[in-house]
A = this chain, B = another copy of it.
Amino acid sequence: MPLPERKLIERIKRAARAPSPALTRGIGDDCAVLRPPRGQELLVTTDFSLEGVHFRRDWHPPESAGHRCLARGLSDIAAMGGEPLAAFLSLALPADMPQRWVDRFVRGLLKLARQFEVPLAGGDVAQSPTGVLADILLVGSVPQGKALLRSGAKLGEAIYVTGALGASAAAIQQMRAGKKLRPTQNRAHFFPEPRIAAGRLLRHRRLASAAIDLSDGLSTDLSHICEESGFGAIVDAESVPVAKGATLELALHGGEDYELLFTAPPRTRVPEAIAGVRVTRIGEIIRGDRVFLSDRQGRRRPMPPRGWEHFR
Identify the stretch in A31-39, A100-108, A157-165 within 8 Å (CB) of chain B at 4 or more residues: A31-39
Is B24 within 8 A of A41, CB to CB? yes
Q: A1-B220, A82-B31, A129-B131 are in contact. Are A42 and B36 (CB under 8 A)?
A: yes
Kindly state the separation between the CA atoms of A157 and B33 in the bound complex, as whole angstroms. 25
Interface centre among A28, A35, A131, A133 (most CB of B within 10 A): A133
**Residues of chain B within 8 A of A46, CB atoms compared:** 88, 90, 122-124, 135, 137
CB distance from A80 to the nearest CB of B (A): 5
Q: A33-B147, A42-B42, A150-B28 are in contact. Are A309 and B2 (CB under 8 A)?
A: yes
**Residues of chain B within 8 A of A47, CB atoms compared:** 90, 124
**Residues of chain B within 8 A of A90, CB atoms compared:** 46-48, 135
Q: A25-B149, A30-B150 are in contact. List 16 more A-B contacts (CB 8 A).
A: A30-B76, A31-B140, A33-B142, A33-B147, A34-B41, A34-B42, A34-B44, A35-B42, A35-B144, A44-B122, A48-B90, A52-B129, A53-B126, A53-B128, A127-B312, A133-B133
Kindly state the separation between the CA atoms of A257 and B304 in the bound complex, as whole angstroms. 49
A282 within 8 A of B: no
Task: Identify the closest chain B residue to A85 (Cβ).
Answer: B42
**Residues of chain B within 8 A of A129, CB atoms compared:** 50-53, 130-131
A92 within 8 A of B: yes
**Residues of chain B within 8 A of A50, CB atoms compared:** 92, 126, 128-129, 133
Kindly state the separation between the CA atoms of A295 and B295 in the bound complex, as whole angstroms. 84
Is A45 within 8 A of B122, CB to CB? yes
Is B28 within 8 A of A228, CB to CB? yes
Kindly state the separation between the CA atoms of A289 and B47 in the bound complex, as whole angstroms. 39
A212 within 8 A of B: yes
Is B48 within 8 A of A32, CB to CB? no
As a 0/1 sequence over residues 284 to 312 of chain A, the CB contacts with chain B under 8 angstroms (1 = contact) are 00000000000000000000000111001
Task: Identify the closest chain B residue to A44 (Cβ).
Answer: B32
Is B53 within 8 A of A2, CB to CB? no
Q: A150-B29, A308-B1 are in contact. Are A121 and B24 (CB under 8 A)?
A: no
CB distance from A200 to the nearest CB of B (A): 14
